[in-house]
Amino acid sequence: MQQTLTAKAPSQRIKTIVLVLGMGLAAFLGSNWKPTNMLADTLRPIHFKQDIPDAFGAWQNDRGMDHIVPDPTQQAFLNKLYNDTVTKTYMNSAGQRIMFSAAYGKLQADDTLQLHNPEICYSAQGFAISGLRPATITVAGKAHSVHQMLAKTANRPEVVTYWIVVGEKSANTRTQQKLVRLKYAMQGYLSDGLLMRVSSIDTDPDRAFKLHAQFANDLAAQMNEPARIRYFGQP
């Protein structure tokens, strides 16, 4: 056992060194070299109105319930941070409800113009966050990386699944987002970003996560491949 631990240590140190160097390079480029081309101008556009329909698979938009989707930040701040947002509540034939929201920012330039991970926004609104973890769901027959968490207040147990796409790359953590932005910057592009969040009120997290995965798969199934790449990302 001791030999196994010793063998893994150098590998972990190398990963840490590479990460630190990458972050240092990102900081250097941020202060000394600014790309000027917008990545969004070279990719398939994000159009919530046409890409996120009111009905797909077993799901139907419950318009009367759209107002219950929580807005975790002030609207003025959202308008500054994002170019477009959408919030909808869907219900399936079994009466199960999903609260869906998406936010798109054409420019992910610095810490003041970046997508905010939901755990940060929920915490700021008084939710207690627990169980935050990476997970994998199946979307259109492919493994897709997401983050899952529980967000609770005294009378609201909300189960949340979310994922973030920078350009066409899956990047659910702040570190991943910075590294993807750096990669695009080295190619001369300012990257865009998309946050997708699926949640439901449920006291059984495992049941809720399975429902979220089904919803995401059904949403992806009605998209063509270019749209799926933009909305779900690639490794």
| 3 pLDDT above the threshold of 50 | no
pLDDT at 2: 37
Across 20-34, 50-64, 198-212, the highest mean pLDDT is recorded for: 198-212
In tens, the pLDDT along 169-194 reads 999 998 999 999 999 999 999 999 99
pLDDT at 7: 40
Query: Residue 154's pLDDT band (boundaries 50, 70, 90)?
Result: confident
pTM of the model: 0.81
Q: How many CA atoms lie within 13 A of 63 on its CB side?
A: 3
Collapsing DSSP to helix, strand or coil, 29 comes out as helix
In tens, the pLDDT along 32-78 reads 567 889 999 999 999 999 999 999 999 999 987 655 554 444 455 55
Average pLDDT over residues 158-162: 97
Residue by residue, DSSP assigns 112-180 as TSSPPPHHHHHHHTTPEEEEEEEEEEEETTEEEEEEEEEEEETTEEEEEEEEEEETTEE--SHHHHHHH
pLDDT at 121: 86
| Residue type present at position 48 | F
Percent of the chain with pLDDT over 70: 76
pLDDT at 115: 79
